[in-house]
C-alpha cells in the first residue's frame, strides 16, 4: 500500500514536471514566434517606410486645370527632379522602372491630368504597381471655382475640356465641373492636396520648395511632420487643403473696436485683446492638449505635412492671432511649424 502511494506520488511529480516543462516550452515558442513576427513587421516597415537620404523618389503632380501644375513642375525641375509633362498613363510603370534602375535619375516628377482622357480612371490601380517599384508621392493641386474661372479669363486660354457651343464663362464653369468629376478617384489617392487659390506663381514655387526641397528633413518627403497654422476668413471659403479646421468666431470680434479695425491679429494690441478673454485661454489649452495627443499618432502613421486652419469672419483678426499663437506653442514643443495667413490684408 505504501509502495503504491509512493508510486502515485512519483507519477504525480513526474506529471507536474512534464507540465512545467511543457509550459516553459510553450512560453519559449510564443516568445520565439513573437520575436519572428516583430522582425517581420520591422522589415515590412522598413520596406514601406520613408525613403532614406538619397533614395529614389517619383512625384506625380495632378489636379484641376488652372491650379498651377505647370508652375509646380518647373519648381520641381529647379529642385533637381527629372521632369516630364503629360506622360501617357500606360507608360508610367515603365518610366518608374527606368528611374529605379538609372544611376543618373534619383528623383523624377511627372504631370498626369485630364488630358489623359478616359484612361485617367486607371491611375489608382496603375499607382499600386508603380509603388512596388519606386517610392511614389501623389500631389493634387486645386483651387476654388471662382479662382479657376478668373485665371482662365486672364490668360484667355481654352480649358482642356472646353466645348465651342457654350459662351466663354459658361464654357469654363461647365468644364471645371466635368473635370472635378473625372478627377474624383485621383484626388482620393493623393498624399498631398495643395490649395493654390491664394498663391501667385512665386508663392506656389516657394510652397513646393518648402515641402520637397533639401530643407525638408532629409530631402524630399521625409518622416518629419511639417505643420502649417493657417488663418482664413469664412467669407472667402474654407481652405481646400486644411486637415483640421477650428472656427474661432465664438470669440468677440475686434473689428467692432474702432482702433483695431484697420489692424490685424499680428498687432500686439489686437493679440492682447483676443488673448485676454477667458474663453480664449480655455480654447487654446484644449486645442493644444488635443494636438499633443494627435501629432505623435500622425507622425507614427507617416504623415509628412499637416495644415491646421483657424477661421473667423474675414481672416484679419481672431484667426490670425490664433494661428500665430498656436505656431509659437507648437514650435516651443519642438515641432517644425510656420504661420500662414491666407486672407490677412497685406
Here the cell at position 32 is 520565439
Here the cell at position 120 is 485617367
Model pLDDT, residue 341: 94
Model pLDDT, residue 43: 44
Task: For residue 282, count CB atoms less than 10 angstroms from its CB and return exposed for 0-12, middle for 13-18, buried for 19 or more.
Answer: exposed
Indicate whether 212 and 302 sit together in one domain: no
Residues in the chain with pLDDT values less than 70 = 1-54, 155-156, 162-170, 215-224, 302
Indicate whether 212 and 118 sit together in one domain: yes
Distance CA 219, CA 249 (A): 38
Indicate whether 86 and 179 sit together in one domain: yes
Here the cell at position 273 is 485683446
Whether 17 maps to a domain, the answer reads no
Indicate whether 266 and 309 sit together in one domain: yes
Whether 346 maps to a domain, the answer reads no
Whether 287 maps to a domain, the answer reads yes
Indicate whether 293 and 166 sit together in one domain: no
Distance CA 55, CA 108 (A): 12
Indicate whether 198 and 253 sit together in one domain: no
Whether 103 maps to a domain, the answer reads yes
Last residue in a domain, options 188, 221, 254: 221
Whether 4 maps to a domain, the answer reads no
Instruction: Tally the residues of the chain.
Output: 346
Indicate whether 214 and 175 sit together in one domain: yes
Model pLDDT, residue 163: 58
Indicate whether 179 and 303 sit together in one domain: no
Distance CA 188, CA 62 (A): 12
253 lies in which domain range? 228-341
Distance CA 224, CA 337 (A): 11
Structurally, how many domains does the chain consist of?
2
Whether 47 maps to a domain, the answer reads no
Whether 49 maps to a domain, the answer reads no
Indicate whether 252 and 206 sit together in one domain: no
Say if CB 173 and CB 216 are below 8 A apart.
no
Indicate whether 118 and 197 sit together in one domain: yes
Last residue in a domain, options 221, 249, 276: 221
Here the cell at position 283 is 480654447
Indicate whether 270 and 311 sit together in one domain: yes
Which tens digit of pLDDT belongs to each residue from 227-250?
999 999 999 999 988 999 999 999
Last residue in a domain, options 221, 254, 281: 221
**Within a 10 A sphere around the Cβ of 54, how many other Cβ atoms?**
11
* CATH code at position 198: 3.40.50.300
Q: What is the 3-state secondary structure (H, E, C) of the chain?
A: CHHHHHHHHHHHHHHHHHHHHHHHHHHHHHHHHHHHHHHHHHHHHHHHCCCCCCCCEEEEEEECCCCCHHHHHHHHHHCCCEEEECCCHHHHHHHHHHHHHCCCCCEEEEECCHHHHHHHHHHHHHHHHHHHHCCEEEEEEECCHHHHHHHHHHHCCCCCCCCCCCCHHHHHHHHHHHHHHHCHHHHHCCCEEEECCCCCHHHHHHHHHHHHCCCCCCCCCCCCCEEEEEEEEHHHCCCCCCCEEEECCCCCCHHHCHHHCCCCCCCHHHHHHHHCCHHHHHHHHHHHHHHHHHHHHHHHCCCCEEEEEEEECCCCCHHHHHHHHHHHHHHHCCCEEEEEECCCCC
Model pLDDT, residue 30: 42
Model pLDDT, residue 126: 92
Pairing of strands 226-233, 305-312: parallel
**Within a 10 A sphere around the Cβ of 260, how many other Cβ atoms?**
19
Model pLDDT, residue 97: 92
Say if CB 225 and CB 298 are below 8 A apart.
yes
Whether 15 maps to a domain, the answer reads no
Indicate whether 209 and 234 sit together in one domain: no
Amino acid at each position: 500500500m505504501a509502495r503504491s502511494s509512493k508510486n502515485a506520488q512519483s507519477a504525480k511529480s513526474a506529471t507536474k514536471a512534464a507540465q512545467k516543462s511543457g509550459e516553459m516550452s510553450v512560453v519559449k515558442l510564443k516568445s520565439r514566434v513573437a520575436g519572428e513576427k516583430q522582425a517581420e513587421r520591422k522589415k515590412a516597415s522598413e520596406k514601406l517606410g520613408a525613403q532614406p537620404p538619397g533614395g529614389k523618389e517619383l512625384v506625380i503632380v495632378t489636379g484641376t486645370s488652372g491650379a498651377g501644375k505647370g508652375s509646380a513642375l518647373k519648381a520641381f525641375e529647379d529642385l533637381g527632379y527629372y521632369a516630364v509633362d503629360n506622360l501617357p498613363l500606360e507608360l508610367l510603370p515603365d518610366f518608374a522602372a527606368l528611374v529605379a534602375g538609372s544611376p543618373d535619375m534619383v528623383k523624377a516628377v511627372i504631370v498626369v491630368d485630364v488630358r489623359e482622357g478616359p484612361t485617367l480612371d486607371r491611375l489608382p490601380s496603375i499607382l499600386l504597381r508603380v509603388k512596388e517599384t519606386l517610392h511614389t508621392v501623389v500631389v493634387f493641386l486645386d483651387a476654388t471655382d471662382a479662382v479657376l474661372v478668373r485665371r482662365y479669363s486672364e490668360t484667355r486660354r481654352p480649358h482642356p475640356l472646353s466645348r465651342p457651343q457654350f459662351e466663354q464663362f459658361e464654357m469654363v464653369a461647365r468644364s471645371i465641373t466635368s473635370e472635378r468629376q473625372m478627377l474624383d478617384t485621383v484626388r482620393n489617392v493623393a498624399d498631398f492636396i495643395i490649395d493654390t487659390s491664394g498663391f501667385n506663381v512665386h508663392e506656389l514655387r516657394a510652397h513646393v520648395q518648402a515641402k520637397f526641397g533639401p530643407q525638408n528633413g532629409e530631402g524630399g518627403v521625409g518622416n518629419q511632420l511639417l505643420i502649417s497654422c493657417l488663418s482664413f476668413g469664412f467669407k472667402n471659403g474654407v481652405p481646400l487643403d486644411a486637415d483640421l479646421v477650428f472656427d474661432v468666431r465664438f470669440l468677440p470680434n475686434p473689428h467692432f473696436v474702432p482702433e483695431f479695425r484697420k489692424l490685424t491679429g499680428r498687432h500686439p494690441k489686437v493679440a492682447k485683446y483676443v488673448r485676454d478673454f477667458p474663453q480664449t485661454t480655455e480654447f487654446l489649452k484644449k486645442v493644444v492638449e488635443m494636438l499633443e495627443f494627435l501629432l505623435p499618432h500622425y507622425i507614427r502613421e507617416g504623415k509628412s505635412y499637416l495644415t491646421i486652419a483657424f477661421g473667423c469672419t474675414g481672416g484679419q483678426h481672431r484667426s490670425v492671432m490664433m494661428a500665430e499663437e498656436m505656431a509659437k506653442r507648437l514650435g516651443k514643443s519642438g515641432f517644425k511649424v510656420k504661420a500662414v495667413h491666407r486672407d490677412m490684408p497685406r
